[in-house]
Structure 1
Amino acid sequence: MATSNDKAVEGLGTGCMGDKTACVSLGTYTAAMMEGKEYLRDTKAVWPKFSCMPNKYLYDSNGIRRGMWTVSWFRDILGDGFAKAAAEQGMSPEELLSKEAESVPVGSDGLMTVLDWLAPVDARYKKGMMIGFDGRSDRGHMYRSILEAVAMTMKRHVDDMTQEMGVSLDQVIITGGGSNSDLFMQIFADVFGIKMVRNVVNGAAGLGSAICAAVASGAYATFEEAVDNMVKIKDSFLPNEENHKLYQKILPIYTDITRHTDEILKKTYEIFE
């Protein structure tokens, strides 16, 4: 059986339905998705694609190029010694980094990461950066800052998408390997200020394809019935209101960083392009 494109089956496999729920796919390209009922035209923050379900669409948000790749990049540059130290404690490198980052305050003591490790084609001068180091900064600060950057960037993209659609969200489903991190899930909840959930199966694309096959074979009569029976929530994370208020103060500052740094990067690009 043929199912559908990768994003469509991933959205279906998360159980993302209705106009009160979005899902965020934590992949190399990190983006948000929502169910759509019509083909939108001339939009700036919503990109309609065909859904797995007849007469419906999947709406994509703008996203982060090399989103979760940046997490892997940071893990890898720490070298074999760090991986060995993690293994000696019975943890993966990501688990040890999360443990270190858990003791870092919300906002990483002012250390902020700009996720431009892969520049867009229309702004080739852009580069990734970390800004705001001081004597408190350590490995945990850097790791938490990357996670916060992913969550804050996606908060901006999801807000742009929902505002253009004229809807508001009750919850966001997080899918992909990054959703295994309790710390990352809580950061998302605190940044967005709404409930975050992760499913039993977080490799949602494979499950979405299985749902398509189940409907096609007659195991379930409708996609809705198949989703109800095949998609199960594992955990929910509610926002800490104090943390959410702090992120609300940080977000406009974070969003404004590149307005100040782009002029510098344009000049260095002339040297290092």
Structure 2
Amino acid sequence: GMMRGKAYTDTASEYWSNLSAIPYEYLYETSVGIRRGMWSVSWFKELLGEAAEEKAKSMGTSVEELLEREARLISPGSEGLITVGEFLAPNNMPYRKAMFIGFDGRHKRAHMYRSILEAIAMTMKMSVDAMCEEQGIKPRQVIVSGGGSNSPLFMQIFADVFGIRSVRNVINNAAGLGAAINVAVGTGAYPDYETAIGKMVRIRDSFEPDLEHREIYEKIINNIYRDIKDYSDPVNKKIYELFG
């Protein structure tokens, strides 16, 4: 998670202060994030194989849209299926691995898909909360960029998990748009960054949180997700000893 700021610090424990393209500003980045977030969605899609491709084709849609339709019918929390989204282990904890915990006969591919999305959002929520608490601020909305923002379900999950409005921009490639803004200011097309941002950044739509869903996700985070690696780490350490 990232946010803008005007003060530099090298003593914060929950975020880094990076130089911003905007003079006298900084870009704060959470010190703990999620690695291979949307990559895991692509991995899961490929895991489903040709059968899913053929079914989606017969319905005149894509596998992503097929999963989206099915997962919308699943209630928040994926009926108890929890994803530990460690698809790329940290350098200092190479034993960490991704896990699905809580399977039973109810769970199908839509549960797995939704659980992956929820894991991404809940991991980001905990990291952003820690950063904002250290700064003594409270966010009003979260902007989701990249491929994940193409999913209305993902946008709604973010709103529900964070308990605030989630928005996506017309151009959801944040890095590409940021580069274009730098060029616009650098070439004098716009006199300053605020003008360029005002002209070039346009919100596509927004998603309001469902308060009942927010309560469910708060219970999952506080009672399950916050401490889940205390239980998954010992098992994964044994797996790592045998298989790396």
TM over 0.5: yes
Number of the residue aligned with 1:60: 29
Task: Find out whether 1:108 has 2:78 as its counterpart.
Answer: yes
Instruction: Give CA deviations for 1:200-244 in whole Å, capped at 9, x if unaligned.
Output: 000121111111111122221110011111110010100001111
CA distance in 1, matches of 2:137, 2:54: 47
Deviation at 1:116, TM superposition (A): 0.8
Deviation at 1:81, TM superposition (A): 2.2
Out of 206, 209, 233, the position equivalent to 2:176 is: 206
Residues 31-110 of structure 1: matches in 2 within 5 Å? Answer: 32-61=1-30, 62-110=32-80
CA distance in 2, matches of 1:207, 1:126: 34
8 Å CA contact 2:68–2:153 kept in 1: the answer is yes
Number of the residue aligned with 1:268: 239
**Aligned-partner residue type, residue 229 of structure 2:** T
CA distance in 2, matches of 1:206, 1:120: 27
Q: Does the residue aligned with 1:113 lie in a helix, a strand or coil?
A: strand
Number of the residue aligned with 1:136: 106
CA distance in 2, matches of 1:119, 1:209: 30
Residues 181-192 of structure 1: matches in 2 within 5 Å? Answer: 181-192=151-162
**Aligned-partner residue type, residue 241 of structure 2:** E
Task: Find out whether 1:159 has 2:126 as its counterpart.
Answer: no
Instruction: Give CA deviations for 1:117-164 in whole Å, capped at 9, x if unaligned.
Output: 111111111110000011110010000000000000000010011111
CA distance in 1, matches of 2:189, 2:88: 43
5+ unaligned residues in a row in structure 1: which ranges? Answer: 1-31
Task: Find out whether 1:239 has 2:175 as its counterpart.
Answer: no
Q: Does the residue aligned with 1:58 lie in a helix, a strand or coil?
A: strand
CA distance in 2, matches of 1:260, 1:250: 15
CA distance in 2, matches of 1:204, 1:123: 30
**Aligned-partner residue type, residue 64 of structure 2:** E
Deviation at 1:88, TM superposition (A): 2.4
5+ unaligned residues in a row in structure 2: which ranges? Answer: none
4+ aligned runs moved over 2 Å, structure 1 = none
Deviation at 1:80, TM superposition (A): 2.0
Out of 122, 145, 156, the position equivalent to 2:92 is: 122
CA distance in 1, matches of 2:106, 2:166: 30
Out of 243, 255, 260, the position equivalent to 2:226 is: 255
Normalised TM-score (structure 1): 0.86
RMSD over equivalenced CA pairs, Å: 1.0
CA distance in 2, matches of 1:74, 1:121: 24
Q: Does the residue aligned with 2:28 lie in a helix, a strand or coil?
A: strand
Deviation at 1:185, TM superposition (A): 0.3
Deviation at 1:251, TM superposition (A): 0.8
CA distance in 2, matches of 1:254, 1:59: 24
8 Å CA contact 2:85–2:119 kept in 1: the answer is yes
Task: Find out whether 1:174 has 2:144 as its counterpart.
Answer: yes
Q: Does the residue aligned with 2:100 lie in a helix, a strand or coil?
A: strand
Instruction: Give CA deviations for 1:146-199 in whole Å, capped at 9, x if unaligned.
Output: 000000000001001111122110001100011011100000000000000001
**Aligned-partner residue type, residue 264 of structure 1:** V
